[in-house]
Amino acid sequence: MRDPLLLTPGPLSTSLATKTAMLHDWGSWDNDFNMLTANVRQRLLALIDGQNTHTCIPLQGSGTFAVEAAVGTLMPRDGKLLCLVNGAYGKRIAQLTQIMGRRVTVCDFGETMPVNPAEVKKCLENDPDISHVAVVYCETSTGILNPLEQIAATVASAGKKLIIDAMSAFGALPVSSRNIAFDALIASGNKCLEGVPGMGFVLARIDALKQCAGQAHSLSLDLYDQWVYMERTGQWRYTPPTHVVAALSAALDQYDQQGGQTARLARYSDNCRYVIQELNKLGLRSFLAPEIQAPIIVTVHAPEHPNWQFSHFYQLTKAQGVLLYPGKLTSAETFRIGCIGVLGRAEMAMAVDAMARALHQMGIPVNAI
């Protein structure tokens, strides 16, 4: 029996080599594991051309743990965050900032539009208290691709600091510290790098991080202390996700062997184009306009048919070995199809066929939805 195809934005389908890497047990303080951690940190830094200016701080937990750690450590307690929102994950950054007791203001662009740098400029001009700006590179709740370079230039010209949630973009969509100024870029290993869940990481500007002692709101989410301890000892402060680090190391090996960021983006882009094309043939419509669609996840309008029920549709596709993702919008009923993971044209064709069969079983005619 094979694992089901995970057409989700992570966790996602992984290779046999990545799974196999988790069969070995590591001593968390052992030098071999310390060397493995150091190697992974350096390879992640290289993906943003940040070896001389930034540092990689891995953190136990999901990507949201790393986002909260970055905001809570890098933003002073008397600072103020401007959160650029066009989906659920931008809203989550605003929520976690508010919960930790820091000031936050939201610039909301709705669920169908990318962040507008001109509006960001106005927000910054109208509120001089803002010290930091947070943006989601690819908003996973819809698949919107935000114009990161233009946003970063606007933030930098205003003298503010940028925090980037690149969770579902890092490793596929390009980003370089040479042409984008940011204090932190946050991602995790179980998205476009095709590792497994359990570890996030923050690529932080060293000069900014040096100013952060004592700023964190949490002991376990203190990036500064994690960084200082790791630099001094080579070890994680608390129990590390050893098998997850090993899996990410193996996934990075495959990433390099397959052609790196350019090849990863090309495969995901082909997956995205193909699934949208084939869904159109079934009568299903993607939610976003093509010019703002990131090749990471496709949000699809639910059929306007009395027989439609996502939970039933999900179970029918699951029975055929395909796991989809529910919608996360407030304005429309949708479901989502991930284009990332160890998937190519053949797997996407299997997924489309499973969806067509499921619709037929539900009595929803294709080509007439």
- The tens digit of pLDDT for each residue in 51-63 reads 999 999 999 999 9
Q: Which residue has the tokens 């080509």?
A: 367
Specify the pLDDT at position 369: 46
Q: Which residue has the tokens 């991080």?
A: 209
3-state helix, strand, coil in the chain (%, to 5): 40, 20, 40
- 335 is written with which tokens? 């479901």
- 153 is written with which tokens? 């230039």
Among 286, 311, 281, CA closest to 299: 286
Which amino acid, residue 321? G
- The tens digit of pLDDT for each residue in 90-136 reads 999 999 999 999 999 999 999 889 999 999 999 999 999 999 999 99
Contact 155, 163 (CB under 8 A): no
Domain ranges of the chain: 17-256, 259-361
Specify the pLDDT at position 1: 54
CA gap 10, 227 in Å, rounded: 26
CA 118, 124, 130, 131 dihedral sign is positive
Strands 184-188 and 161-165, sheet pairing? parallel
Secondary-structure class of domain 17-256 per CATH? alpha beta
Common-topology check for domains 17-256 and 259-361 = no
- 311 is written with which tokens? 């939970």
Q: Supply the DSSP string of 54-94, one letter for each residue.
A: EEEEEEES-HHHHHHHHHHHHS-TT-EEEEEESSHHHHHHH
CA gap 127, 322 in Å, rounded: 47
Residues in the chain, pLDDT under 70: 1, 330, 368-369
Contact 115, 109 (CB under 8 A): yes
Our measurement of the distance from residue 10's CA atom to the centroid of its chain's CA atoms, rounded to an integer in Å, reads: 8
Rounded (10°) angle between helices 242-257 and 260-282 = 90
CATH superfamily of domain region 259-361: Aspartate Aminotransferase, domain 1 (3.90.1150.10)
Q: Is the peptide bond before 114 cis (omega within 30 degrees of 0)?
A: no
